[in-house]
Homo-oligomer: A and B are copies of this chain.
Amino acid sequence: MRALTLVRYARALLLLALLSFGGQAFAQGDPLPSWNEGAAKQAILKFVETTTMQGGPSFVPPAERIATFDQDGTLWVEHPMYTQIVYCFERVPAVVKAKPELANVEPFKTVMSGNREAIAKLTTNDLVKILAATLTGMSVDDFRAEAKKWLDTARDPRWKRPFTELTYLPMQEVLKYLRANGYRTYIVTGGGQDFVRIYADEVYGIPPEQVVGTAAGTKYGYTKSGKPFLTKEPNLLLNDNNAGKVEGMYLMIGRRPFAAFGNSTGDRQMLEYTKAGTGERLAMLVLHDDAQREYAYGPAQGLPASKVGTFTQALYNEAIKQGWIVISMKNDWKRIFSFEP
């Protein structure tokens, strides 16, 4: 009786010790169940195995295990328009209401007209004015509250779901698999850092300090009652796209990633820089080639090169040349969304 109690006790403690010593290492089963067997899935599994094998030639110490992910088009749907751009356009009426003098000023007049043809013709300069008017000039807390409210209610036109549900299940599995193996996962996005930080923790399990994005300045000031607060300013600090992604990682992380994931020409330098590091490095590109389950755009696809994440033939050629692995949504992903079978 006494011995039996001890056996039970020892078993319970053994279980406890195993769990607390990183049960993941003992976990059974496929960490990437939404992936079809193939080169892409194998590359991810092999990368994690070799870089976490203590004593192996490609072992990476836990402190250096950094993996970076583009967001729009890599972790969630970016077509037909970046979510943040949708937010900015939908925010215009509130801005015009607060500043009625804008109602007759372009590009706000065109946006307010609702004329889709005219809106589609807006220039980059017009867009910059819309971004400045909707993303700056308010306190960081007010911005957060407004954008959060919008994200909770806005719906994607195709799936009729919150944008925050349109994440790719296979990529969510990659994030979790990497983290379970000691990698810290970062978002490195051309999108607004402030915007992405609002939902990244809830949606991806990525905390604000691990979101690097395009960032403008803030200005410290005080309320009438003397409480300090920050106002969002229009001066651009970091254009976190193309080479800016590498510059942004240097500024915000100070380390070179061991794995990087993207889907467009804006991610080229991030992948290039990642692969240029010593040891085992993983660079992957999501190719949108699934018109049925998501969208098809990119080289030799049905859709014309769009303004969102452009996957050109040149990028494809570069990937082949550099040993970056192209993920075919159509062939490599068994499931795309968690809400679909």
Residues of A within 8 A of B (CB): 2-3, 6-7, 9-10, 13-14, 16-17, 20-21, 63, 140, 193, 197, 201, 207-209, 211, 215, 217-220, 227-228, 230, 237-238, 243, 246-247, 250-255, 269, 272-273, 276
Contact = CB atoms under 8 A, between A and B. Distances in A.
A209 B109 CA distance: 44
Contacts of A20: 17, 20-21
Contacts of A215: 251
A254 B209 contact: yes
A219 B250 CA distance: 10
A208 B252 CA distance: 9
A246 B227 CA distance: 14
A42 to B, nearest CB: 27
A238 B243 CA distance: 19
Q: How many identical chains are in the complex?
A: 2
Closest 7 CB pairs of A and B: A208-B254, A220-B243, A13-B13, A20-B20, A6-B6, A16-B17, A10-B10
28 contacts: A3-B3, A3-B6, A10-B10, A10-B13, A16-B17, A17-B17, A20-B20, A20-B21, A63-B207, A193-B251, A197-B254, A208-B255, A209-B209, A209-B252, A215-B251, A218-B247, A220-B246, A220-B273, A227-B276, A228-B246, A228-B269, A228-B273, A228-B276, A230-B246, A230-B247, A230-B250, A237-B238, A252-B252
Contacts of A250: 140, 218, 230
A236 to B, nearest CB: 10
Contacts of A208: 253-255
